[in-house]
Chain A
Amino acid sequence: MLRTNRDRLVEIAVGGEVWPAASRSPYRPNALGVAKIFMGTAGVILNARVGDPAYGWAADHVEPAVSIRNREDGPEHALHYLACIGNGAVMTSGVAKGARGVVTGEHAHILVDFPRDVLEKICIGDQVLIRAIGMGLEMLDYPDISVRKMSPELFDALRIEELGHGRIRVPVAAEIPGYLMGSGAELGADYVDQDMMTNDRETLAALGLDNLRIGDILAVRDHDHTVNRGYREGAITIGIINHADSFMTGHGPGVMDLLSCAMPKIEPVIDKRANLAVYLGIGNHDWADERRKLA
């Protein structure tokens, strides 16, 4: 029995509005110095959703489905820090009022997945309320392992297995070596994500990391994110891909922190079904086959 303090977690509402895509400079250099114009973050993305490929989109840092933020700085940070992956969201204004969605990540905006028919009814500026629960979640018998940004539902879905002697096993879609972790090292581990670095496509392919999906659960080797994000040999961090790839040097799919330990007490085991869309049955597919095999 994996003991947690879930019965003591506080469920609290946070909210924002559907945020428009904005273009800063129209041109940015890619890793080879070629000026590119690409779609970027925010907006309502109708086609790229959690469970879909993290690579190949004709865009940069695509945030799947709906991006929301709050206009006021304080409530905006409440949204960032309190919203957890797997939390329920509800449209509270506009044509889609009453429709229900699921938080899938935190990046420049909070990312919420809704069914396709709902996505078509959502307008920029529509209000979204999130029932935030998950901050403060702890694994009571594993004080060395930090827990972040997870709803109790996602925590349960991860299929964590207790191995004894303070160790756990977690299914992951892939393992990332520490040297591929890039942009986001300068930020606190409780805030947004750290990008994988994907300019070096040969290395990526050699490591089998060129077919990742948005929502994949991953292990990062030799990274201790228990406090902030940094390199420590033997440490291990479990994360989730929140946004798609980038053409900019030092960037790539974003990895949000879920579990971390400064010591080798988390054992990852490869399982390609380890993806948020499969676990929660959201995104562009119903994942019926994968979900049956999980059960």
Chain B
Amino acid sequence: MIETNEDRVITMSVMGVVISPSYPGIPAIPHQIDREGKPRLLPALGGIVYNVKVGDSVYGWAGDMIEPGVAIKAPDPAANEALNVFACVGNDAVVMSGNATGARGIVTGKSGRFAEHVIIHFATEILDQLAFGDKIVVHARGVGLAVNRFPGIYLKSLSPLLFDRLRLEENDGKLTVPVTAIVPPELMGAGAGLTSEGGAICIQSMDTAALARHGLDKLRLGDVVAITDYDSSYGHGYKKGSVSLGVVSATDSIRAGYGPGVTLLMTSPGGELDPLIVEGINIVNLLDVEARA
């Protein structure tokens, strides 16, 4: 049991509504330009996604950065920033209007610049009842969470529930953490230099040989991954010796510089996190996602 200040962490409601995907209007050139310069038209960020779920592969979908389940956003930009920063992976979400009122889901991740969504898993029968504009409250709990014996490790978007289930172990002044894969800094892309309190940072997937070499070609939504030589204390950026931890929260992209989106959970500029590769470390299992939502 790794001690935290969990008993002093605030639980607060933040609210968003189920939002539609959106595309640019006239002159009706809605394509994304892929890595080879080819325009392609695909489903992208946002909406209710019925057939891509946390636990599924991030690769191979005919889509661009698909958010599994439901994407929500608050209409007011300041309120949306609160939603995007305060909601934590593992928090409970409750539908507050519409046909699915009272249904419960679970926060599985966030999206970054150009989308700023919170991503929520619901059971398939609940997805069938949801509509755009339905209000969803997240019982946000996790911002301010700290590890008592490791003040140099910063926690972000991390619920106390998920923290407790990460199977952390203290060894020789470090926290050992099991992860599905370890991402080297050169593969981190879009999201660098942007906020680490919310949003996401992409694992670049253009160089498929490099991906395979690092065991990143079989990633699934919900996989817990470590990032080496990246400090995300105050924004994301290269710093030798730093170690960060995140959860894969959106699917692959066709664009250069982009790829599977990672929601950052922990960062240690001093390298006090020690990632250990263990197969199948995924929040579907860690959080009993199927049983809870």
Contacts and interface: CB of A to CB of B under 8 A. Distances in A.
Interface residues of A, number: 38
B255 A249 contact: no
Chain B binding surface SS class: loop
Contacts of A185: 189-192, 202, 204, 257-258
B51 to A, nearest CB: 27
Contact of B193 (A30, A189, A232, A250): A250
B206 A230 contact: yes
B123 interface: no
Interface string A5-20: 0000000000000000
Contacts of A32: 233-234
Interface string A231-272: 111000000000000001111000000000000000000000
Contact of B237 (A184, A197, A227, A229): A197
Interface in B174-216: 184-187, 189-194, 196, 202, 204, 206-207, 209-210
Nearest to A28: B234
Interface stretch (A64-72, A90-98, A175-183): A175-183
A230 B237 contact: no
Interface size bucket, B side? 35 or more
A182 B35 CA distance: 18
A282 B189 CA distance: 34
B110 interface: no
A184 B238 contact: no
Contacts of A60: none
Nearest to B259: A230
A229 B37 contact: no
A29 interface: yes
Contacts of B235: 31, 248-251
B152 to A, nearest CB: 11
B256 interface: yes
B231 A228 contact: no
11 contacts: A31-B235, A32-B234, A183-B193, A188-B33, A203-B240, A224-B256, A228-B257, A230-B189, A231-B206, A231-B207, A232-B256
Interface of B: 33-37, 112-114, 184-187, 189-194, 196, 202, 204, 206-207, 209-210, 229, 231-240, 255-258
